[in-house]
Structure 1
Amino acid sequence: MNFRVLLVCMGNICRSPTAEVVLRQYIKLNNLGDKVEVDSAGTHGYHVGEAPDSRTQRAAAVRGYNLSQLRARKVARQDLDYFDLILAMDKSNLDNLRRMATPEQQERIKLFMQYAKNFEDDEVPDPYYGLGHGFDLVLDMVEDAAQGLIEEVKQNSAA
Structure 2
Amino acid sequence: MIVRSAGLRYRHVGKSPHRNAMRAAADFGYDIEDHIAVKVNFRLLEWADTVLAMDRAVLDELRALADERTVPKLGLYLDGEDVHDP
Instruction: Return the match for 1:101 from 66, 71, 86.
Output: 66
Pair 1:113-2:78 in alignment: yes
| Larger-gyration structure (1/2) | 1
Instruction: Return the match for 2:84 from 117, 125, 128.
Output: 125
| Amino acid across the alignment from 1:125 | H
| Amino acid across the alignment from 2:15 | E
Give the total of aligned pairs.
Answer: 86
CA distance in structure 2 between the aligned counterparts of 1:59 and 1:74, rounded to whole angstroms: 22
Q: CA RMSD in A?
A: 1.6
Structure 2 unaligned regions, length at least 5: none
**Which structure has more helix as a fraction of its residues?**
1
Q: Secondary structure at the match of 1:41?
A: coil
Shift in Å at residue 63 of structure 1? Answer: 3.7
Q: Which residue of 2 aligns with 1:47?
A: 12
**Which structure has more strand as a fraction of its residues?**
1
Q: Secondary structure at the match of 1:40?
A: coil
Q: What is the TM-score normalised by the length of structure 1?
A: 0.49
Per-residue CA deviations over 1:43-77 (Å, capped at 9, x if unaligned) read 11111110111122223333433221111000121
The alignment-based identity, stated in percent, is 37
Q: What is the TM-score normalised by the length of structure 2?
A: 0.85
Equivalent pair of 2:41/2:65 in contact (CA under 8 Å): no
